[in-house]
Structure formats: C-alpha cells, structure tokens
Amino acid sequence: ADTQTKVYGNVDPALTYQVSAGSLVNGDSLSGALTRSAGENVGSYTINASALANGNYLITANNGALAIAKAPLSVTANAASKTYGGVAYSGGNGVVYSGFVNGETTNVLGGTLAYAGSSQGASNAGSYAITPVGLTSSNYTVSYVDGALTISQRPITVTADTQTKVYGNVDPALTYQ
C-alpha cells in the first residue's frame, strides 16, 4: 500500500498500491480493496493491503500508512482604541478565528486565551501590538496575528491669561489655564 497524507478535516485521498516485487501477467489485476484504520485525529493510521487477492499469485501484502497532519488555525486579535488618560492598557478586545473544520469551535482548543505584546501596560499616545497567545490544539497548528491598540492624544484647550502692566514696568509672569 502506498503511503498517503492528508490534512485534518480533509477527505481521505484515494488509497493506492504498487506491485513492488514481481509482476502481474496476462493483464491480470488484483481484487479487493485497501482499507485503513479508523480515526480522524492527527496521527498515523495503517493502510491495510491484506484484502488484495488473485488466486494465481502468492501475495505478500505490505501495509502502508496514512498520516493526518494538523490543519492551520489563525487567531487574529481585534483592534482596540482609547484616549490617553494615564491608565495602563491590559487585556485585549477579543479575537477572530479562521480555519476550524468539521463544524468545530473554540471548545476543541486547550489552554487559555491571553494577550501579550507592546500594548500590555501601554499608557502613552501611540500605536501598540495586541498579541493573542495561550491556545493549544492536537489537531490544529495555531498561529497568531497581532491586532493594533491605538491610544489617541487627549484633546485639551490651553488659554493664555490676559495680563496688564504699566508702561516702564517689568512684564508680569505669563500664565495660562
């Protein structure tokens, strides 16, 4: 049986075989079908060649393997924004998942969603990365995409105080509110 691969959640490839020693003659073929061990999670499953038969041949069946690889799953942090106020930012603004198969949802993930990146503890005006982290899966390769935290400048109005002086005197202290 030929070795095969597929990605978690995809349909099995056609199970095929090769005659690896000797040869079939007179247009003969083998009857029967290849089967594989049951299972859909990431791992290796035996492709069984023992059901292939033809009464004119002494067949040695060599099993193959079907390898199921992890499917890609992207976790993208949502953007967030706030106005400067001196309070440090922490956490995130949720995430969007892309790549679940078989109708699966976040309930198949291990770990705990958390946030890292330059946004954590940021308080000054600017742009910072919100990085999702912390999720695991035996059937998915989890990749993370940063979101952006934008801390905008706090608008303020500054008004100079009106001042007066007598001619020849020193200018008063200039002040504002």
Residue 159 CA to its chain's centroid (Å): 51
Please write the tens of the pLDDT for every residue from 117-131.
Answer: 999 999 999 999 999
pLDDT for 37: 97
Return the closest-CA partner of residue 99 out of 142, 68, 135, 138: 142
User: Helix or strand or coil: residue 81?
Assistant: strand
Question: What is the enclosing helix (H) or strand (E) of 20?
Answer: none
114 has pLDDT over 90? yes
86 has pLDDT over 90? no
pLDDT for 145: 98
Confidence (pTM):
0.81
β-bridge partners, 140? 71
151 has pLDDT over 90? yes
Q: How far lies 109's CA from each of 74, 102, 130, 162, in Å?
A: 12, 14, 20, 65
| Arithmetic mean of pLDDT over the chain | 96
Q: Which two tokens stand for residue 166?
A: 């007598």
54 pLDDT band, cuts 50/70/90, is very high
Report the b/e string of 15-44 with b at 16+ CB within 10 A.
beeeeeeeeeeeeeebeeebebeeeeebee
38 pLDDT band, cuts 50/70/90, is very high
Determine how many CB atoms are found less than 10 A away from the CB of residue 163.
10
Compute the residue count for the chain. 177
Q: Which two tokens stand for residue 142?
A: 């989890």
14 has pLDDT over 90? yes
Return the closest-CA partner of residue 20 out of 37, 3, 45: 3
